[in-house]
Amino acid sequence: MAAPILNLHNITKSFTRGGEEITVLRNLNLQVAEGEFLGIMGPSGSGKTTMLNLIAGLDKPNRGEVWIGGQCVSTMSESQLASWRTRSIGFIFQFYHLLPVLTAYENVELPLLLLPLSSAKRRQQVLNVLDLVGLTDRMHHRPGQLSGGQQQRVGIARAIVTDPTLIVADEPTGDLDARSAVEILNLMGELQKGLNKTILLVTHDPRAAERAQRIVHLEKGQLLESAEMEAAGLLNDGAGSNAIQASEPRTK
């Protein structure tokens, strides 16, 4: 059996606040297969952001190891992490994080400026992903001239322009209307199925999580599958039933 593209092994992460040690993640384990679309749910304060920061190499665990694409991220130096993140992690944010003075083309090009590519190669990669997200005709528009859905498409193009190992989407539909949210989720599904991209989708919305092949729930620093959540009485009838239907991997 092939090794998982992502492996969190016995992760514990604590912070000290006011002289008190607070454990956010406790002996957390997670494996994600290459090309899997994983939904991650959990209430505010459950540790989702902390877990994402560890996966992205923005923080390090107190104990345990983070393995991505066969590399142990948790033992890398800061300089190694900076280079690794550029090539390996694509971020999609709730509020887009686009630079308002740059055009869509220039925002998407930004990650490539950190790589040893010719201008011609950069241009080709930017045009390819803008075409993929359907924004070729908006490439010279600045964020303020784009709708929320279009801005998020720019954000997705920027996330995939370096062909990363892993795409991390943190509430990508949280600032969108219902129609735009559906379009963004459809696009993410196309990335997973058409390009075999591995996607971690963090969301509070069960309707968004339904798009994932599998759903895990982060509760008090522990990851639980939907069936475990139901057995513990932690899923309500509405969101719970949706999540349970999506908890088993679906065929591609």
Q: Average pLDDT of 224-239?
A: 59
pLDDT at 247 over 50: no
Tokens representing residue 74 in the block: 């948790």
Rounded distance between C-alpha atoms, residue 65 and residue 62, angstroms:
9
Rounded distance between C-alpha atoms, residue 67 and residue 84, angstroms:
12
Q: Average pLDDT of 194-221?
A: 92
For residue 19, tell me if it sits in a domain: no
> Is the separation of the CB atoms in 223 and 215 below 8 Å?
no
For residue 5, tell me if it sits in a domain: no
Question: What pLDDT does 241 receive?
Answer: 36
Q: Average pLDDT of 180-190?
A: 95
**Average pLDDT in the chain:** 89
* Amino acid residing at 69: G
For residue 151, tell me if it sits in a domain: yes
Q: Average pLDDT of 152-177?
A: 95
Rounded distance between C-alpha atoms, residue 13 and residue 32, angstroms:
20
Q: What is the CATH number of the domain that holds 232?
A: 3.40.50.300
Question: What pLDDT does 125 receive?
Answer: 97
Q: Which domain holds residue 205?
A: 35-46+85-246
pTM: 0.86
For residue 78, tell me if it sits in a domain: no
Q: Average pLDDT of 183-204?
A: 94
pLDDT band (50, 70, 90) for residue 168: very high
Place of tokens 């550029």: 86
| Helix residue ranges, H only, the chain | 48-55, 78-88, 104-109, 119-132, 148-160, 178-195, 206-209, 226-231, 237-246
Residues 6+ apart with CB under 8 A from 229: 217, 219, 235, 240, 243
> Is the separation of the CB atoms in 190 and 109 below 8 Å?
no
> Residue 243 phi/psi, 5° resolution?
-65, -40
Q: Average pLDDT of 171-188?
A: 94
For residue 141, tell me if it sits in a domain: yes
pLDDT band (50, 70, 90) for residue 226: low
Containing 8, the helix (H) or strand (E) segment is strand 6-17
| pLDDT tens, residue by residue, 29-88 | 999 999 999 999 998 888 898 999 999 999 999 999 999 999 999 999 999 999 999 999
Rounded distance between C-alpha atoms, residue 18 and residue 106, angstroms:
43
pLDDT at 235 over 80: no
For residue 18, tell me if it sits in a domain: no
Q: Average pLDDT of 176-186?
A: 95
pLDDT at 111 over 80: yes
For residue 194, tell me if it sits in a domain: yes
Q: Average pLDDT of 165-178?
A: 94
For residue 12, tell me if it sits in a domain: no
Percent residues over pLDDT 90 in the chain: 79
Rounded distance between C-alpha atoms, residue 162 and residue 47, angstroms:
28
Rounded distance between C-alpha atoms, residue 31 and residue 55, angstroms:
12
b/e map of 223-237 (b: 16 or more CB within 10 Å)?
Answer: bbbbebbbeeeebee
Rounded distance between C-alpha atoms, residue 185 and residue 207, angstroms:
10
> Is the separation of the CB atoms in 152 and 180 below 8 Å?
yes
Higher pLDDT, 37 or 231: 37
Please give the tally of structural domains in the chain: 1
